[in-house]
Amino acid sequence: MTENASIRILIVDDHAVVREGLSSYIALEPDIVVVGEAADGDEALEKVPALNPDIILLDLVMPRKSGLEVMEGLADLNHPAKVLVLTSFTEHDHIFLAIKSGAKGIMLKDSSPAQLIRAIRNVYQGQISLHPLIAEKLVQEINQESELPLTESPLTERELEVLTLVAKGMRNQEIAERLSVSERTVGSHVGHILDKLHLANRTQAALFALREGITTLDQE
């Protein structure tokens, strides 16, 4: 394997055994090279400019900086590296926030080597790559939206503002700080939004906001 391989990979995971395992079977691919490893988000962002990876294999839950914070940092660096999330979590919030933060692929850590290598190549070529279980969960989330008509009571201006921030992936505490209200007040607004729209959870509310044009993925 040489540094001239076409796809340059930075592995970011706080477990050494995971990093070593990934490196060992990526090394078998003639067109992919691991240019570096990082044990946490801070180390990853420090190494990105010098290593100049094409793809970052990124864990979501790490010390110092999470995977989501790494993606925010990449945006600040204006670095073109694509992020392929490799996670053990399948919760809707984790999935949606990762996609919202710019991940081009999400794979589970129990994926086979062949699945991961295929995902790396797909993401490198600009395609979205989701583990089948992740894709299924997203489809289920969209399809589970209630068939009940929307309540006659429209969302208030404040509720629309809260819904927009929910769609940005912000937690109640972050929304409370942004709007200078209590976290309890935000929770009440979120509850009213879900009731009025007949939605089950925040992820469905976020998808609703995106679909209806209330906000967009790139809206500041």
Each residue's pLDDT tens digit, 97-118: 788 778 999 999 888 999 999 9
Give the up-direction half-sphere exposure of residue 85: CA atoms within 13 A in the CB hemisphere. 30
- Specify the domain boundaries for CATH 3.40.50.2300 within the chain: 7-141
| Model confidence at 52: pLDDT above 50 | yes
Write down the pTM of the prediction: 0.66
pLDDT at site 1: 44
For 11-45, what is each residue's pLDDT tens digit? 999 999 999 999 999 999 999 999 999 999 999 99
Structure tokens at 183: 């976290």
Q: What is the CATH number of domain 7-141?
A: 3.40.50.2300
Angle of CA points 123, 128, 133, to nearest 5°: 115
Q: What is the pLDDT of residues 156-185, one digit of tens each?
A: 999 999 998 888 778 888 899 999 999 999
CATH number of 157-211, picked from 3.40.640.10, 3.10.180.10, 1.10.10.10, 3.40.50.150:
1.10.10.10
Q: What is the pLDDT of residue 2?
A: 44
